[in-house]
Chains A and B, each alone.
Chain A
Amino acid sequence: MSDRIIDKAAAELAADIREGRLTSVEVTTAFLDRIDAVDGTVGAFLHVDREGALAAAREADAAVAAGESVSPLAGVPIAVKDVVVTKGLPTTAASKILEGWIPPYDATIVERVKAARMPILGKTNLDEFAMGSSTEFSAYGRTANPWDTGRIPGGSGGGSAAAVAAKMAPLAIGTDTGGSIRQPSAVTGTFGAKPTYGSNSRYGVIAFSSSLDTPGPVSRNALDAALLHEVISGHDPRDSTAVDAPVPPVAEAARLGATGDLSGVTLGVVTELTAGSDAAEPGVVEAYRAGIDQLVKLGAQIREVSCPSFVHALAAYYLIAPAEASSNLARYDGVRYGLRAGDDGERGLEEVMSLTREVGFGPEVKRRILLGTYALSAGYIDRFYGQAQKVRTLVKRDFEAAFEQVDALVSPTTPFTAFKFGEHSEDLYRMYLADLYTVPANLYGGPGVSVPVGLAEGLPVGFQVMGPVMGDDIAYRVAAALESTQEPLLADTAPEIEGK
C-alpha cells in the first residue's frame, strides 16, 4: 500500500494523529488538496471550507498536544451532506430555494462532530432535498461516480459517497430516508450505515420525511463507520423522536466481526428481496450470492424467511415520504429566508409565494410535493396515506417476526449497479426501484448497513445487513465479517481519478 494520507482509513489516521505521526493539519490539508485536484471531475462538493477546516485542524492538534482526552476520531476530517445544517457555512439541500442561506445554528450531529474535533471539509452534493437515487436532481450540477465518471454515484447522498470513494474525505455524513446512504454506498464501493431511526438526532437535518429520515456515516470500511456512528449517535432532547437509550456498541461489534467468526449467528435471507423480485441485475445477484457463501464459511447459519409485506414497502414509502415532504417543504415560501421570486411591487403575496416555489424547486421536488399533497388531500387520505401507514405496520410485523427466528436479515443493497447519467430520467418508477431493498428498513426503523461485496461488470455491488431496532451492533458485526473476506477492499482499489 502507498503511504499517501488519502489512502488511509479514518481509524488509522486518528491513531497517527493521536500518536504524533501526523498532524490534523497535515491530514486535513491532504484531503483539501485532493478535493482541489479531483473534485472538478467528480463534483462531490457544493462548498469547501478550507479555512474553517484548517482552523479546526489546528485546534485538534493543540488538543492532542495538550494531552487532552480526545475522541477516537479527533483530527480526522469529514464531509457533510448539504442537507445537514452547519452554522456559518452555506446549506442549500441542493436546492435553488435555499441558495445563499447561511444557517445561524448547527445540527446536533454537527455539534457532536465539532466536539469530537473533526474538521469539516465542506458540504456535499445530493438530490434536491434528498429526493432521488442518482444525485441528478441537484440544482447545482451532477456528481460523477469515481468508478465510472459517466455514471451516477447513487442518491440522494451521491456527493458524500463519491467524496469518500474518490478519497476526498475519509468519512462523510449522509442521511437515509429510503436508502440515501446505503444505495450510494453500494454503487460507489463504500461502506454506509443507516442507524436505527431516532438513535441519531434529526435536529438540524433538513427534513424530507420526518418519520423516516436518519442521518448516518459513510466510510471506507465498517470500523470507520462505527467510530463515526458513535460520535454522532445518542439521545438529543431537541428531537422528540430521538430514542433515549444507550448507543449500541457498534465499534466493538465491528472489531468482533473483523475477526471473521460468525458461529452462532443466524442470518435470514428475505425471499421477497431476492427470488421474489425480478428487478435485480444478474451481476448483482451473483455478487450477493458469493457474499452469502462467504458468510456461511465464517460459520453463519442461513435461513430463508418470508416477509410478504415487503413487496408493498416501496409503494407505501412513495406515499408516506412525499406526504410528509409536502408539509415539511411548505416553509420554503420566500418570506423568512432563501429565495424570493417575482416580487415586483405589483404581485400579491400568494402569487409571489407560488412563483418563488415554482422557480426555487426542481421537477422531482415538485412531483413529490404534488404526490404528497394528493395523498393527504380530502377524500384520498384514507386510501393513500392511511393505507400506506397500515402497510407500514405490516412491514414492521414482518421484521419483528423475522427477528424471532434470525439475528439479522440480508439482501442486496440495491437491484442494480450505477447506471449512466440520464438513463432512468424518462422512467421514474424504474428510478424509484433503486430503493426497493432499502425502504423496508426505513419503514420499520431498524438499522441497515451496506458493505461492498464485489464488482459486477467492473462496478461495485453492495450487500445489505439489517438488524432489529437498536440492534445496530449485529448489523455492523455481520457486515464487518463479510468485509474481512474482501481482500483488498473496493475502497482501496477504486480507479484513480483524473483531475480536470
Chain B
Amino acid sequence: MSTISREEVAHLARLARLEVTDEELDAFAGQLDAVLESMKALGEVDTEGVQPSSHAVPLVNVFREDRPQPSLPREAVLDGGPDTAEGRFRVPRILDEEV
C-alpha cells in the first residue's frame, strides 16, 4: 500500500518552500514511501499511557536575566546578506501573502 502520494509530496514541498521538479516529485514519493513503509512497525508499538519525551535530558526553568548584551556590528550583520539596501535586507516583492 502506498502511504504517500505524488500530490502529497507536492503539498509538503510547498509547505517547506522547495521548488521540486516533476522527476523529483516521483523520486521523493517513492523514497518517502519506502522509508515510511519500513517504519510501519512503529505505529504498532503499544504506547498507551506513555508520555512523549521531547528532550533527552529534561531540564526546567532555564532563564536568562533581562540584561542587555552587545548586538553584532551592523557591517557583520549585513555583510552576510545576499542583497542589502539602506541598512536593511532587500527581498523581492512579496506576492499573495498576508500583510
Q: What would 15 more interface pairs be, CB under 8 Å, given A333-B17, A443-B56?
A: A104-B77, A104-B79, A319-B42, A337-B80, A339-B82, A348-B93, A350-B96, A357-B16, A357-B18, A367-B28, A367-B31, A367-B32, A390-B45, A392-B52, A429-B34
Known: A337-B81, A350-B97, A369-B18. A241 touches B59 (CB 8 A): yes
B 35-58 to A, binary, CB cutoff 8 A, 1 in contact else 0:
110110111010100111111110
Best-surrounded residue of A101, A334, A337, A374 (most CB of chain B within 10 A)? A374
Interface residues of B in 79-93 (CB under 8 A from A): 79-83, 89, 91-93
User: Which 4 A-B pairs have CB atoms at the shortest separation, nearest pair first?
Assistant: A445-B56, A389-B52, A348-B95, A337-B80
A346 CB to nearest B CB, Å: 9
CA distance A390 to B55 in the complex (A): 11
B1 CB to nearest A CB, Å: 15
B99 within 8 A of A: no
Question: By the criterion CB–CB under 8 Å, are B39 and A318 in contact?
Answer: yes
In the assembled complex, which residues on chain A have CB atoms less than 8 Å from the CB atom of B93? Answer: 348-349
In the assembled complex, which residues on chain A have CB atoms less than 8 Å from the CB atom of B24? Answer: 363, 366
Question: By the criterion CB–CB under 8 Å, are B17 and A353 in contact?
Answer: yes
Best-surrounded residue of B13, B35, B54 (most CB of chain A within 10 A)? B35
Question: By the criterion CB–CB under 8 Å, are A334 and B82 in contact?
Answer: yes
In the assembled complex, which residues on chain A have CB atoms less than 8 Å from the CB atom of B12? Answer: 370, 373-374, 377
Question: By the criterion CB–CB under 8 Å, are A393 and B82 in contact?
Answer: no
B67 CB to nearest A CB, Å: 12
Question: By the criterion CB–CB under 8 Å, are A371 and B32 in contact?
Answer: yes
CA distance A141 to B40 in the complex (A): 34
A 409-431 to B, binary, CB cutoff 8 A, 1 in contact else 0:
00000000000000000001100
Best-surrounded residue of B35, B39, B45, B56 (most CB of chain A within 10 A)? B56
Known: A101-B80, A243-B57, A312-B42. A361 touches B18 (CB 8 A): yes
In the assembled complex, which residues on chain B have CB atoms less than 8 Å from the CB atom of A237? Answer: 64
Which chain B residue lies CB-closest to A350? Answer: B95
Interface residues of A in 334-363 (CB under 8 A from B): 334-340, 343, 345, 347-355, 357-358, 361, 363
A423 CB to nearest B CB, Å: 17
Known: A357-B18, A373-B12, A387-B42. A348 touches B94 (CB 8 A): yes
Question: By the criterion CB–CB under 8 Å, are B54 and A389 in contact?
Answer: yes
A383 within 8 A of B: yes
In the assembled complex, which residues on chain A have CB atoms less than 8 Å from the CB atom of B4? Answer: 374
In the assembled complex, which residues on chain B have CB atoms less than 8 Å from the CB atom of A389? Answer: 52-54
In the assembled complex, which residues on chain B have CB atoms less than 8 Å from the CB atom of A258? Answer: none
CA distance A318 to B24 in the complex (A): 21
CA distance A340 to B90 in the complex (A): 11
Known: A337-B81, A349-B95. A374 touches B20 (CB 8 A): no
22 pairs, CB–CB < 8 Å, chain A vs chain B:
A104-B76, A104-B80, A196-B57, A198-B59, A211-B54, A211-B55, A241-B57, A312-B45, A333-B17, A336-B89, A337-B82, A348-B96, A349-B97, A367-B31, A369-B16, A370-B16, A371-B32, A373-B12, A391-B45, A429-B35, A469-B56, A469-B57
A134 within 8 A of B: no
Residues of A within 8 A of B (CB): 101-102, 104-105, 196-198, 211-212, 237, 240-241, 243, 309, 311-312, 315-316, 318-319, 326, 330, 333-340, 343, 345, 347-355, 357-358, 361, 363, 366-367, 369-371, 373-374, 377, 383, 386-394, 396, 428-429, 432, 442-445, 469
Question: By the criterion CB–CB under 8 Å, are A394 and B81 in contact?
Answer: no
CA distance A361 to B24 in the complex (A): 13
A340 CB to nearest B CB, Å: 4
Known: A337-B80, A374-B12. A386 touches B94 (CB 8 A): no
Question: By the criterion CB–CB under 8 Å, are A377 and B15 in contact?
Answer: yes
CA distance A239 to B64 in the complex (A): 10
B22 within 8 A of A: no
Question: By the criterion CB–CB under 8 Å, are A354 and B17 in contact?
Answer: yes
CA distance A336 to B77 in the complex (A): 8
B19 within 8 A of A: yes
Question: By the criterion CB–CB under 8 Å, are A390 and B57 in contact?
Answer: no
Question: By the criterion CB–CB under 8 Å, are A350 and B17 in contact?
Answer: yes
B99 CB to nearest A CB, Å: 13
- Contact with A102, one of B80, B83, B91 (Cβ below 8 angstroms): B80
Which chain B residue lies CB-closest to A324? Answer: B54
CA distance A386 to B79 in the complex (A): 40
Which chain A residue lies CB-closest to B34? Answer: A429
In the assembled complex, which residues on chain A have CB atoms less than 8 Å from the CB atom of B42? Answer: 312, 315-316, 319, 387-388, 391
CA distance A224 to B17 in the complex (A): 44
Which chain B residue lies CB-closest to A371? Answer: B32
- Contact with A390, one of B50, B76, B82 (Cβ below 8 angstroms): B50
Question: By the criterion CB–CB under 8 Å, are B53 and A393 in contact?
Answer: yes
Question: By the criterion CB–CB under 8 Å, are B57 and A429 in contact?
Answer: no
Question: By the criterion CB–CB under 8 Å, are A429 and B38 in contact?
Answer: yes
Question: By the criterion CB–CB under 8 Å, are B95 and A104 in contact?
Answer: no
Question: By the criterion CB–CB under 8 Å, are B45 and A309 in contact?
Answer: yes
